[in-house]
Amino acid sequence: MDFFVGNTFQLRKVALADEGPNCENFPSLTKGDLRKAEEQRFEGLGNSGPNLVNWLASLGHASSYALTPAAASKEKPKSTPFHMAEPFLLIGIMTSQNHSDLDLSSAKRKFADSLNEFKFQCIGDAETDDEMCIARSLQEFASVLRNLEDERIRMIENASDVLITPLEKFRKEQIGAAKEAKKKYDKETEKYCGILEKHLNLSSKKKESQLQEADSQVDLVRQHFYEVSLEYVFKVQEVQERKMFEFVEPLLAFLQGLFTFYHHGYELAKDFSDFKMQLTISIQNTRNRFEGTRSEVESLMKKMKENPLEHKTISPYTMEGYLYVQEKRHFGTSWVKHYCTYQRDSKQITMVPFDQKSGGKGGEDESVTLKSCIRRKTDSIEKRFCFDVEAVDRPGVITMQALSEEDRRLWMEAMDGREPVYNSNKDSQNEGTAQLDSIGFSIIKKCIHAVETRGINEQGLYRIVGVNSRVQKLLSVLMDPKTASETETDICAEWEIKTITSALKTYLRMLPGPLMMYQFQRSFIKAAKLENQESRVSEIHSLVHRLPEKNRQMLQLLMNHLANVANNHKQNLMTVANLGVVFGPTLLRPQEETVAAIMDIKFQNIVIEILIENHDKIFNTVPEMPLTNAQLHLSRKKSGDSKPPSCSERPLTLFHAMQSTEKQEQRNSIINSSLESVVSSNANSILNSSSSLQPNMNSSDPDLDVLKPTRPNSL
């Protein structure tokens, strides 16, 4: 039994080795564990067990590398002789090595390209022979590296052909066949053991014919098991024998290619030795010259520090140096650094843009002829050390900033500059304030154009406010007469949509009076309180045409835009009601901040909703004659028959919205604090005044409107 278990022990080692890289789990299985398992597996085999072992072992004696009974060995082998994991591991390692070599070769080629493109800057008019040799050395280095990497690529390709491909073929054809034989052997072993166990459990009381039939069946299965076992052992031995030459021969070819690569490097180094010697001499000569001239340069630098006037460079220009020149942009100005020169004889000023980040010239040169130079008044500009220059051949004024007060004095002396003339009278009394003039219309049109072209679908449009500092900066740019006069049709993309919308609302709030004027505010509020929708529209229609022409034009421009915004409410979430909440306090702001004025905010919102919903009729048609009371009552009934009430017909409710100014936040706080008392009293008064007109909520009269108690907050 020990002999059989020993052979089975070796077969188990072969099976574990066939699993490839997982063979490291083998040491955890002891011989005693396998012995116990095999004894349980082949328990009850009788005399057939030793015969099977002898048959399998007979092939093992044919070669020293075949199956060897472990019981016949005095000491346990250190490793299994049928270890089949080496090809798997070696193929993986070599493939990874090839990829690493390719990455290394690619990196060296990039390095060689960088060396080949690198150029030394020449100080002076000509180079010495040593400097030319050093400059040429980088191209030589690049050539050597490329040559060496070409040979490396050939070595990698050779390794793939002579090593990886043969080993991969050996793994697929030989080791793969051995694995299939092992699977077949395991299957037949399980089948044979099962049948044998059933055969041994047969009762001796059965008929002789049944017992003979069972014996015959067991003999057939045993014979087939012997054949499969023999094929498996033969295949394992064949794989082990083939490994001797099919595994080692590719390795020998690979090493030969490796030696060829190193020999090529040796020959390349021999060819490079002459240039290396010449380059070493040139480097040493250059270093010696540097050490010799360094002390002279330090001595000259010391003299220049002690007496700079004696070593001042002779220049053909009267004055030269760096100045910052104010340049106009699309919406605003910027200060650009220039290197400027001035010749007094020709009065020529040359300005060369200088970009500090790029380290040199940043644009085209510009030359102008000086007409006059005036120092800039301190209170007229935020920058210090500024002066204005007028040119003969260029319109406008060029504002320049010197590096210091002394530097400005030198520039003005060179240009025969003058002091400014002080005048207390301002050119424009309203400069810098919001007005309904050409600049005001231009600002609103630019904002609307920017919103409709770039942000009509942005969520929370006009409800989300921008950063106050950015809004003020944009307004200052738009309201500057210098930039406002430019023919710009849109605001540049650097401004966010929320900044543009906040600027539009802020400009409307900056007007001397609200767009819909103080004197008409109560009339608009009364119109919004009318019970009939047609009467509301008609009254507001009439009031709009009583506004001044500029106010009406601006209001029409704004309402057309808000209608476009509302048409895209599915994307921007800004319905007509939302827009009314946003623009009501802006276009109808009260003259005095009172609780009554705050409670009228909801009616202001209704006015804006009506203007948006009926903008085409209100602004493009002449208002009709006002209706009589009987006509108002009749039209109210007809409107209930034709269609359900729109958002502006519904009973009024109080909207709470975040505002962008402190005054509007104060309004909301007062609304919240007085909501219970005011709303309840207003609701009772409305119900009492309209009790004769409104039916019971359960009424089925089709001619009467059933008013809803609340309107949902669309925000």
pLDDT at residue 60 greater than cutoff 70:
no
Instruction: Identify whether the C-beta of residue 711 lies closer than 8 Å to the C-beta of residue 652.
Output: yes
Bridge partners of 322, per DSSP, are: 339
Q: 5: pLDDT confidence band, cut at 50, 70 and 90?
A: very low
**Distance of alpha carbon 632 from alpha carbon 534, whole angstroms:** 8
Per-residue CA distances from 698 to 572, 639, 644, 688, 689 (Å): 38, 20, 17, 18, 20
Most confident of 5-9, 171-175, 239-243, 266-270: 266-270
Question: If DSSP states are collapsed to H, E and C, what string results for 181-241?
Answer: HHHHHHHHHHHHHHHHHHHHCCCCCCCHHHHHHHHHHHHHHHHHHHHHHHHHHHHHHHHHH
Tokens of 694: 């409104």
Q: Provide the sign of the torsion angle of the four alpha carbons 522, 527, 529, 530, taken in this order.
A: positive
Residue-wise pLDDT tens digits, 397-432? 899 999 999 999 999 999 998 887 654 333 333 334
Q: Phi, psi (5° rounding) for residue 370? A: -70, 135
Q: 172: pLDDT confidence band, cut at 50, 70 and 90?
A: confident
**Residues in CB range of 621: below 8 A, 6 or more apart:** 541
**Distance of alpha carbon 693 from alpha carbon 546, whole angstroms:** 32
Helix (H/G/I), strand (E/B), else coil: 401: strand
Cα 474–chain centre separation: 27
pLDDT at residue 341 greater than cutoff 90:
yes
What percentage of the chain carries pLDDT values higher than 90? 23
Other CB atoms within 10 A of residue 296 CB: 9
Helix (H/G/I), strand (E/B), else coil: 342: strand
Q: 551: pLDDT confidence band, cut at 50, 70 and 90?
A: very high
pLDDT of residue 546: 93
Residue-wise pLDDT tens digits, 203-243? 777 888 888 888 888 888 888 888 988 988 888 888 888 88
Instruction: Identify whether the C-beta of residue 605 lies closer than 8 Å to the C-beta of residue 580.
Output: yes
Identify which of 64, 294, 18 has the alpha carbon closest to the alpha carbon of residue 174: 18
Tokens of 593: 């901040």
Q: Long-range contacts made by residues 194-203, C-beta under 8 angstroms, separation at least 24?
A: 195/221, 196/44, 196/45, 196/48, 196/221, 196/222, 197/44, 200/44, 200/46
Identify which of 411, 402, 406 has the alpha carbon closest to the alpha carbon of residue 349: 411
Q: 564: pLDDT confidence band, cut at 50, 70 and 90?
A: very high
What structural domains does the chain harbor?
A: 2-72 (no CATH), 86-261 (1.20.1270.60), 319-414 (2.30.29.30), 438-629 (1.10.555.10)
pLDDT of residue 378: 79
343-359 CB burial, b ≥16 within 10 A, e <16: beeebebbbbbbeeeee
**Distance of alpha carbon 49 from alpha carbon 179, whole angstroms:** 25
Residue-wise pLDDT tens digits, 486-505? 535 467 777 899 999 999 99
Q: Name which of 55-64, 381-390, 454-463 the model is least confident about.
A: 55-64
Question: If DSSP states are collapsed to H, E and C, what string results for 596-644?
Answer: HHHHCHHHHHHHHHHHHHCHHHHHHCCCCCCCCHHHHHHHHHHHHHHCC
Amino acid at the residue 667: R
Instruction: Identify whether the C-beta of residue 22 lies closer than 8 Å to the C-beta of residue 83.
Output: no
Instruction: Identify whether the C-beta of residue 462 lies closer than 8 Å to the C-beta of residue 582.
Output: yes
Per-residue CA distances from 695 to 529, 691, 702 (Å): 20, 8, 11
Q: 7: pLDDT confidence band, cut at 50, 70 and 90?
A: very low
What percentage of the chain carries pLDDT values higher than 70? 68
pLDDT of residue 211: 82
* DSSP secondary structure string for all residues of 238-251: HHHHHHHHHTHHHH
pLDDT at residue 45 greater than cutoff 50:
no
Range 607-635 average pLDDT: 75
Q: 458: pLDDT confidence band, cut at 50, 70 and 90?
A: very high
Helix (H/G/I), strand (E/B), else coil: 391: strand
Q: Name which of 80-94, 137-151, 595-609 the model is least confident about.
A: 80-94
Residue-wise pLDDT tens digits, 597-613? 777 888 888 999 999 99
Instruction: Identify whether the C-beta of residue 349 lies closer than 8 Å to the C-beta of residue 324.
Output: no
Per-residue CA distances from 28 to 39, 287, 692 (Å): 19, 67, 100
**Residues in CB range of 441: below 8 A, 6 or more apart:** 553, 554, 557
